[in-house]
Amino acid sequence: MSSEIAIKVENLSKCYQIYDKPRDRLLQMLARGRKQYFREFWALREVSFEIKKGETVGIIGRNGSGKSTLLQMICGTLNPTSGSIQTQGRIAALLELGSGFNPEFTGRENIYMNAAVLGLSKEETDTRFDDIVSFADIGDFIEQPIKTYSSGMVMRLAFAIIAHVDADLLVIDEALAVGDAFFVQKCMRFLRQFMEKGTVLFVSHDTASVINLCDYAIWIDAGTKKMEGTTKKVSEAYLAALHNQQNIVCEKKIKRKIRKKAYI
């Protein structure tokens, strides 16, 4: 892989086995491949793209389209069914809210645990601890278990950690949606500073944020890469498709009501 490439994804696919009944898992084991007791669900199929170092790329798509699955495989928390992923540099990820936190541990304990997972030594975390706490701005709750936090406080702490681990690549999945306006502005200021030297993979349903922050965008639809290009062009195509789908749904509802009245 070229030294100029931060992420290279080739023919990436992820398939889940869906069982209708718990006993079908046992039957599948006993069948030894002679019979299939599950349905295949392809969350992602044959997705390929490259992201250069220093680029900020937006991933857009409807819920269930495969965006989060893609990010989890890039971060190494999920194994692909087929295909390959290559990354260069330290990755810091903000995926599902609270992921990577132990709810029984305090905020302080979770800071040290997460920093260690991201490759920082205890001494390095010691020197950054006050800055992390100041950025999160959750007061005395830093000494309380995570399970007592609101969703906004969890997001604050998670973002504060990834902002201070000297990452080369930031992966952010819809996390800013639960933050208050003041903290979101703080995060955006950090992101703009980070974008001057690092690579960002940003997932959001807010196409305005994608257009404002990202260099280009990738549209994921039903597990496949639907479109890739400038943020404005991809976002407009995505919104147009959503509008058309909504119109189709409305037309079907109207037709059902008409048929129902005619039957009555």
The model's pTM is: 0.80
Candidates 92, 93, 181, 100; CA nearest to 146 is 100
Alpha-carbon Rg for the chain, nearest whole angstrom, is 22
At 59 the three-state DSSP class reads: strand
pLDDT band at 193; cut points 50, 70, 90: confident
Amino acid identity, residue 77?
Answer: T
Q: What is the mean pLDDT of the chain?
A: 85
Q: What is the pLDDT of residue 187?
A: 82
Q: What is the pLDDT of residue 38?
A: 87
Q: Are 140 and 189 in contact (CB under 8 A)?
A: no
**In the sheet that 5-18 helps form, which strands lie side by side, from edge to edge?**
39-52, 5-18, 82-87
Phi and psi based region of residue 237 (left: phi greater than 0; alpha: psi -120 to 50; beta: remaining): alpha
Amino acid identity, residue 67?
Answer: K
At 42 the three-state DSSP class reads: strand
What's the CA angle centered on 195, arms 95 and 3, to 5 degrees? 90
Please indicate whether residue 97 or residue 42 has the higher confidence score (pLDDT). Answer: 42
Task: List the domain boundaries for the chain.
Answer: 5-231
For residue 100, pLDDT over 80 is answered with no
**145-163 pLDDT, tens digit each:** 989 988 888 888 988 888 8
For residue 224, pLDDT over 80 is answered with yes
pLDDT band at 47; cut points 50, 70, 90: very high
For domain 5-231, which architecture applies?
3-Layer(aba) Sandwich (3.40)
* 75/51 Cα distance (integer angstroms): 14
Q: What is the pLDDT of residue 249?
A: 65
For residue 255, pLDDT over 70 is answered with no
